[in-house]
């Protein structure tokens, strides 16, 4: 199945061909129930929902967790692009549209909800820190989780542990960003390596960036 990751004129962490590489993982596993930790401006969420609808019709579920501009537990936990502090675009037209005409913060819950409104019956957006939120969710049916939220060692281990405990033996996919040399964050890589060693899990490195774990 041919994939085409779209930027939708918003900010995304999967630039260039990385979005297509990500979507090819969805195409390989064809989930119905998807979890994203770290929604950012909703671009990956929209690409995921579009893909899930194409293969499942209306029978799919997307859950997204993000701070959406809210408070985080630790100042060292989530890596915030400079863009989020003052929302300045390199494209002057985007600056005009988002900052002066729409006056819209692209990573706010309201903005992302509006951006994904065509899928409103299939999505659940939750504002908060995954350290607090994840343990309260029913995750039993999740078949594919994309982990790109808090980047501290503690948070990555927390996210992996809760997902593992809920999904163990179900052959669900945990895809973690920022693992390989193409975008490595030391705490993220160390947290993943230590966790899979303890649980005797295997890591497949995708295009020297993503870590894929089947639980």
Task: Name the more confident of 179 and 93.
Answer: 179
The superfamily in CATH containing domain 18-78+109-214 is Vaccinia Virus protein VP39 (3.40.50.150)
Q: Is the whole model's pTM more than 0.95, yes or no?
A: no
What pLDDT sits at residue 59? 97
H helices present in the chain, as ranges? 18-29, 43-56, 82-86, 92-94, 109-115, 130-133, 153-167, 186-199
CA–CA separation, 179 and 194 (whole Å): 13
Predicted confidence band of residue 87 (pLDDT cuts 50, 70, 90): low
What pLDDT sits at residue 158? 97
H helices present in 81-209, as ranges? 82-86, 92-94, 109-115, 130-133, 153-167, 186-199
Delimit the domains of the chain by residue range: 18-78+109-214
Predicted confidence band of residue 85 (pLDDT cuts 50, 70, 90): low
CA–CA separation, 112 and 40 (whole Å): 9
Please state which of the ranges 72-76, 143-147, 207-211 shows the lowest mean pLDDT: 72-76
């Amino acid at each position: 199945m041919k994939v085409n990751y779209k930027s939708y004129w918003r900010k995304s962490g999967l630039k260039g061909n990385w979005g297509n590489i990500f979507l090819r993982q969805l195409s390989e596993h064809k989930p119905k129930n998807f979890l994203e930790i770290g929604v950012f401006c909703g671009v990956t969420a929209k690409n995921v929902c579009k893909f899930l609808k194409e293969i499942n019709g209306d029978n799919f579920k997307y859950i997204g967790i993000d701070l959406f501009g809210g408070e985080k537990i630790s100042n060292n936990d989530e890596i915030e692009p400079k863009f989020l502090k003052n929302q300045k675009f390199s494209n002057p037209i985007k600056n005009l549209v988002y900052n002066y005409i729409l006056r819209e913060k692209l990573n706010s819950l309201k903005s992302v909800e509006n951006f994904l409104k065509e899928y409103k019956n299939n999505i659940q957006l939750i504002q908060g820190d995954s350290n607090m939120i994840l343990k309260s969710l029913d995750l039993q049916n999740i078949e594919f989780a994309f982990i790109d939220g808090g980047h501290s060692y503690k948070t990555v281990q927390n996210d992996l542990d809760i997902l593992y405990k809920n999904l163990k033996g179900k052959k669900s996919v945990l895809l973690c960003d920022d693992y390989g040399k193409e975008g490595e964050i030391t705490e993220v890589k160390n947290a993943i390596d230590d966790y899979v060693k303890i649980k005797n899990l295997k890591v497949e490195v995708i295009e020297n960036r993503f870590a894929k774990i089947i639980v």
